Amino acid sequence: MMEGVEQRGPRLWRLTGHAACAAALGDGEAVRKLPERALAAMAPGPFREHNAHTMTFMDPPHHGRVRRALAAHFTPRALAALQPLIVETATGLALGLARRRRADFIAAFAATLPIRVIAAILGVAPSGEARLRRCAAAVVAALEPDADAAARAAGDAAIAELAAFIGRTRRRPDGLLALLEASDALSADEALHQAIFVLNAGHETTAFVLARGAATLMAEPDARAALGDDPARWTQAADELLRLHPPLQWLVRHTVAPLAMPGGELPAGATLICDLAAANRDARLFAAPERFDPFRANARQHLSFAAGRHTCLGAALARAEIATGLRILFRHLPALRPAAPLLLRRGGIFHGVRRMPVLTGGPDAA
């Protein structure tokens, strides 16, 4: 019997075990995305056109070509150069939050930090954060399996608005967009759509983990105290938060050849639902998987960034934003606490936080 593998139909399997999901996501020969299937279900328009040009909807060889063009801008050296910006931005937002008695943590910190960082990477002005959040939410909603015509139309409008925003606010010749456009590897359309994708993916998912992470740490003062102000400890805690709160709940893959699984084999022609949330809480790998343990030794084995050729290109950046952002947040706001329950957005694929009212703990916040 295959561990963590559930057959749900003649050619449909749900993978809930960590080993099973890792095997499917990490296989480079027997498994493909077959993006044409998903694209065929989308009506013609800006949303479909956008997805057709992004690497998340590509198989080899196009995926490798586009990913290589982007990868040079997400190297450890590039990330190290961004760390001062992350620190400066997080500090400014935390100090601004500290001057307020009550705030929505999403707008005041969780969404704004990654938006400003990714805008700097792209070389566009970090303006209109609320509009960018709204557009990103519309794109995410349009990607859900149950998206209706209104959601898809909103996705079309959001893509058109983001393209106009990027064209209107670009300001640096050394930004990622300008460098992609100058690359021989990508067409002009591909360069623009990678920029839109990076702008969306670079903040929507990170904002969710920053919010859930802050909520978790507000409820765990002892764990927060144990982390102190040690960047390495906060990086480990960031992976534990990613394990517990994956923004992306599941991924679809298709077998084009028999796929070896723990304890068996899946046939060619199978559709696989890789349940990342379940895999991240697999008790065969993670002891007491429902518990938040900021010092969990194997937390980085989570699959929240996927695995294999489609591993999230911005994983290191997201990890740095979560670790640095939360460390600086609680350095300046040790008494931060919830003002009301956070309002979650639970889609079929994506989870998010709509609002998260907080009290800063200032002298007038009793």
Residues 6+ apart with CB under 8 A from 225: none
Is residue 65 within 8 Å of 72, Cβ to Cβ? no
Question: What pLDDT is stored for residue 242 in this prediction?
Answer: 98
| CA distances for 7 relative to 262, 269, 275, angstroms | 15, 14, 13
Question: Residue 321 burial (CB < 10 Å; 0-12/13-18/19+)?
Answer: buried
How is domain 5-359 classified at the CATH fold level?
Answer: Cytochrome p450 (1.10.630)
Mean pLDDT of the 321-343 span: 97
Mean pLDDT of the 196-209 span: 90
pLDDT in tens, 139-151: 999 999 999 999 9
Report whether pLDDT(208) > 90: yes
pLDDT in tens, 230-249: 999 999 999 999 999 999 99
pLDDT in tens, 211-224: 999 999 999 999 99
Helix then strand count (H, E) for the chain reads 16, 12
| CA distances for 6 relative to 1, 214, 360, angstroms | 10, 34, 46
For the chain, domain boundaries: 5-359
Question: What pLDDT is stored for residue 202 in this prediction?
Answer: 80
Q: What distance in Å separates the CA atoms of residue 284 and residue 217, rounded to the nearest whole number?
A: 26
Mean pLDDT of the 45-72 span: 93
As given in the structure block, the two tokens for residue 168 are 């209107």
Q: How many CB atoms lie within 10 A of CB 291?
A: 10
Q: What is the mean pLDDT of the chain?
A: 93
Mean pLDDT of the 293-310 span: 97
